[in-house]
Amino acid sequence: MSTAAPVEIETPGHITRKVSLAAEQDEIPRYIVVEGPIGVGKTTLASLLAQALHFPLMLEPAAENPFLDRFYAEGHRHALPTQLFFLLHRARQLSDITSNDLLGPTLVADFMVEKDALFAELTLDEEEFGLYKQIHDNLAMDPPAPDLVIYLQAPVQVLQQRIHRRGLKFEQNIETDYLNALADRYTEFFHYYDAAPLLIVNAAATDFTNNHLHFSALLDRMFAMDGTRQFFNPNPSLLA
């Protein structure tokens, strides 16, 4: 549940040219979702992609959730309102997606609604999850399938370092056990995920904000996707 602000940096000329060429050759996925656990950098990458591709950007509403800081500080007793806020807000966001009947939406998002139950199962007790599931099912959400999902992976130690570095006060209360459990849930979820092409990224070895070659190499892999599941694990010594 990232709370990072959208990244605003100048897009280098070689990346602009790369995107223009890919657009001419119809190689750019129209609806891209960036996912991964807390602190992995999904909001940063989604913002960079939206800026480079000139796509609308849809961000997870973490900063707007009035229960999130209490959940991280005090735990379980705030889990249900925290989760329901995200669920209802995501439902509203998805209902606002405008779609061309033939081509689908043009969009970059830093969340997918299918992962909402992942957090709910991790944080809610049996009765709370039953209530959550009832509300979820009654919303009857039918989100469009992404053209590409980018799943960012990093060890929990890296997630902790990045959470500490960005310095959001309430995030400093996140427990290691919670991060470990969350990372495991993401790994399991994407092990079986087959609803859209999936690009699995070693986020611990990349710095998309400060290293334009890392970002450029990721674009190359995105535009060349020719299967349902691929990996992006560049050697930093070669791309530095």
The total of other beta-carbon atoms located within 10 Å of residue 15's CB is: 19
142 is catalytic: no
Domain ranges of the chain: 17-239
Catalytic residue among 110, 125, 194, 207: 110
Grade residue 233 by pLDDT with cuts at 50, 70 and 90.
Answer: confident
Q: Which CA distances in Å does 219 have to 29, 50, 97, 106, 227?
A: 11, 12, 24, 17, 16
Grade residue 1 by pLDDT with cuts at 50, 70 and 90.
Answer: very low
Q: Nearest 5°: phi and psi at 210?
A: -100, -15
Strands, sheet with 31-35, edge to edge from the N-terminal-most edge strand = 57-58, 107-109, 31-35, 148-153, 198-202, 229-232
What's this model's pTM, rounded to 2 decimal places?
A: 0.89
Per-residue pLDDT for 198 more than 90? Answer: yes
Per-residue pLDDT for 3 more than 70? Answer: no
Confidence at residue 226, expressed as pLDDT on a 0 to 100 scale: 85
| CATH for the stretch 17-239 | 3.40.50.300
Which DSSP state fits 231? E
The total of other beta-carbon atoms located within 10 Å of residue 234's CB is: 18
Give the pLDDT confidence of 146-191 residue by residue, as tens digits: 999 999 999 999 999 999 888 777 787 788 999 999 999 999 999 9
Q: How far apart are CA 170 and CA 34, in angstroms?
A: 23
Per-residue pLDDT for 84 more than 90? Answer: yes
Sign of the alpha-carbon dihedral angle for 163, 165, 167, 172: positive
- Mean pLDDT of all residues in 129-141: 92
Q: How far apart are CA 108 and CA 32, in angstroms?
A: 5
Helix (H) or strand (E) holding 14: helix 13-24
Grade residue 10 by pLDDT with cuts at 50, 70 and 90.
Answer: low
Of 138, 133, 95, 109, give the one whose Cα is nearest residue 45.
Answer: 109
